[in-house]
């Protein structure tokens, strides 16, 4: 499965929620759940967003825990 489809689902949910600050994978999963978007796990979200960060689409704020900014 190509991660872009998953990234688009995450991006659309964050855009719809008008998120303007970095979020943890757990916070993103909670937001997706509220919108009835099923996602495997926080680990999967981190993997998808990490790949997009390599392409320059996502900024990763390295801390405990990591936060992701689209």
The predicted pLDDT at position 16 comes to: 93
pTM: 0.88
Q: Going by CATH, does the domain composed of 3-69 fall within 1.20.1250?
A: no
Could you tell me how far CA 64 lies from the centroid of its own chain?
16
Phi, psi dihedral angles at 67 (to 5 degrees)? -125, 145
Q: Where are the domains of the chain?
A: 3-69
Q: Going residue by residue through the chain (70 aa), what tens digit of pLDDT does each one get?
A: 444 599 999 999 999 999 889 999 999 999 999 999 889 899 999 999 999 999 999 999 998 899 999 9
HSE of 27, CA atoms in CB hemisphere, 13 A: 12
């Amino acid at each position: 499965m190509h991660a872009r489809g998953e990234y688009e689902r995450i991006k659309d949910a964050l855009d719809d929620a008008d998120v303007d600050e970095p979020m943890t994978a757990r916070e993103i999963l909670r937001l997706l759940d509220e919108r009835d978007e099923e996602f495997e796990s926080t680990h999967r979200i981190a993997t998808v967003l990490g790949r997009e960060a390599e392409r320059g689409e996502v900024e990763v704020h390295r801390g405990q825990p990591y936060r992701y900014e689209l």
